[in-house]
Every structure is written in C-alpha cells, then in structure tokens.
Amino acid sequence: MSAAPDTTGLTFRQDYFADRTAWRALVSLLHDTFGIDIGPLMELGGPDPSSMPFGWFAEDGTLAANLSAFAMPIVVNGRRISAAALQSGAVRPPWRGRGLYRDVTNKALDWCSYQGFEAIVLYTDKPALYEPYGFRTLPMHSFEGDAPKPDGAPDARTLDPRVAADLALLQDLLARREAVSDTLAVTGSPAMFLINTQLDPNVQLTFIEKLDAVIAWKLDGERFILLDVLAPSIPSLAAILGGLGIKPSRAEILFNPEKLGWNGAPLPSSLHGTHFMIRGLDGPELQAPAMLSPMADF
C-alpha cells in the first residue's frame, strides 16, 4: 500500500473549492463517474465549509482523481462523536491503476488524523477498497410496521429549497435540530441534507408549523416512508401523520424510531447496495439496529 503513485502530467491540489473552475471539474468528475449532479449545491448555501478536497488535476484542468473529507458530527450509542466523512472518491478511467486513489486516500486520512477526528465514516459499494485502512461495515436497518392512527389536524406546507424563504427556514431548522435518534444519527452536516433534497425527486419536504418540524418523506402506495425529521424536539409519528393529513396503513422509518413513540420491526437495509463504514471508533457495535438517514447520505 505504499508504492508511489504515477502522477505524470498531473498537479496535486487540496482545498480548491474556492476556485470555481476547479469546483466545476469536480462536478464533472462526479457526474461522469456516478451520474449525480452536485452543481445545485452552490445555490443551496454551498459545500460544507469544513470540506477538504484532495485532487490530482491534468494540465487542461480535468480532475483525474479526487477524494474529499469534511466534518460530520454524529451520535453513536448515545455518545456525540466528532467524526469526519469521506466522499466524492473517484478516478477517471484513463488514470486508474496508477495508485492515485491510494494516494488521495492516504492524504485524506492524514488530514483527518491531524484534525483530531475521533472516527471517519464513508459509504461505498466497494468495502474491500477501505478494509486495508481499518474501516469496517456497520449493518444498517430500517423499521417497518403498521402506521399509527394520525393525531391532530393537518397543517402542512410543501417546501422548495430553491425558494429563498424556504431555504432560510430549512437552514434555521437544520441549525436547531435534535438528532433523530441517539443510536445513530447526524448532529450536523446541513449541506448534505440540502443536496439530498435535489438528488431524489420523490422526496417531499413538508413544514408542519405547529410541530416546528420539517418532514422528509415519501409515499409508496399505502406505505409511508419517513427519511428524516428536522425539529428541535422530535414529534411522534402519529403527530407527523396528523400534521401531514395522511392515513397510510404501513410505515417504514429510515432511522431508529426510538423518539417517534412508535415501534417497528428492524429490516436489514442495503441502501443503493452500499455499505456504511466506520474507522477509529473503539468499543461495541451499534447497541440497537439503526440506520443513518438517507438525507445524511454523502
């Protein structure tokens, strides 16, 4: 794992997000590699301010290889952890197999350890890529069961993060939110929530004023799917359904529902076939089945 990378014709840069041309090169790399468009992030408050990208650029400005780190505070088993997350890991096909990914991985891990993060997390469909660095997979579970009877009158307003007033409301609640679960949840990372609102067009964002809550949800026939709740005090599932004015027969919660006044059966989840991996956290596995909300997916 220590062979020097072949960096012929390439220039290394880190912390390059302020350079719009370099940022566009990353947008292009991620579009070409994963088919996702993170361009809209710039209209939603920009990348997480803690972001530290590590990239090798070709002479024409093409980003050949990249891996980014950013601070992603989480709560695990009731303990707040200052964690970093790795994301946007990709090497363009002509530059693969030269050790460039190993190089940016080592640089990102060195940066994380210099910054003093307690743990590092990532999502990947290639766990073997990260196991040599001490990452291990944490199994994820969603929760399913009969939906509770809705409680309270409808009070729902759909939000559009591209509308300035709605974005401000979201940012305010993102800053004041309580962790949706104490077993596993993010306690920060507003930029990830905002970009994820743009990546899945089926996710609805609804503000329920009387609950001081924004609900990220979907409906699949009779099944209500709850992705995330932004609120200083997490309301019950019954109050959420009442506020939304819907009466589904089934509910699926994409995080541990311990604060929702409702319980469901845990089901192994392989969100997009990806593994959630963690490095550096000592001690036991998750004390209960859990899942990191897809709105924190990075």
Ligand X SMILES: CC(C)(COP(=O)(O)OP(=O)(O)OC[C@H]1O[C@@H](n2cnc3c(N)ncnc32)[C@H](O)[C@@H]1OP(=O)(O)O)[C@@H](O)C(=O)NCCC(=O)NCCS
Binding site for ligand X (CB under 6 A): 1, 33, 65, 89-91, 96-102, 124, 126, 128-129
**CA gap 161, 278 in Å, rounded:** 30
Is the CB of 102 or the CB of 141 nearer to ligand X?
A: 102
Is the CB of 109 or the CB of 251 nearer to ligand X?
A: 109
Is the CB of 5 or the CB of 248 nearer to ligand X?
A: 5
Nearest approach in angstroms of CB 40 to ligand X is 21
Is the CB of 56 or the CB of 193 nearer to ligand X?
A: 56
Nearest approach in angstroms of CB 90 to ligand X is 4
Nearest approach in angstroms of CB 58 to ligand X is 14
Nearest approach in angstroms of CB 100 to ligand X is 4
Burial of 164 (0-12, 13-18, 19+ CB in 10 A): exposed
Nearest approach in angstroms of CB 22 to ligand X is 18
Is the CB of 104 or the CB of 240 nearer to ligand X?
A: 104
SS3 (DSSP) at 277: strand
Q: How many CB atoms lie within 10 A of CB 157?
A: 12
The one-letter amino acid at 42: M
Of 74, 62, 79, the residue nearest 21 (C-alpha):
62
**CA gap 204, 224 in Å, rounded:** 11
Is the CB of 104 or the CB of 214 nearer to ligand X?
A: 104
Nearest approach in angstroms of CB 212 to ligand X is 36
Nearest approach in angstroms of CB 74 to ligand X is 19
Is the CB of 125 or the CB of 222 nearer to ligand X?
A: 125
Of 216, 213, 253, 217, the residue nearest 233 (C-alpha):
213
Max Cα-Cα span within the chain: 65
**CA gap 152, 170 in Å, rounded:** 23
SS3 (DSSP) at 286: coil
Burial of 262 (0-12, 13-18, 19+ CB in 10 A): buried
**Residue whose pair of structure tokens reads 């104490």 in the numeric block:** 182
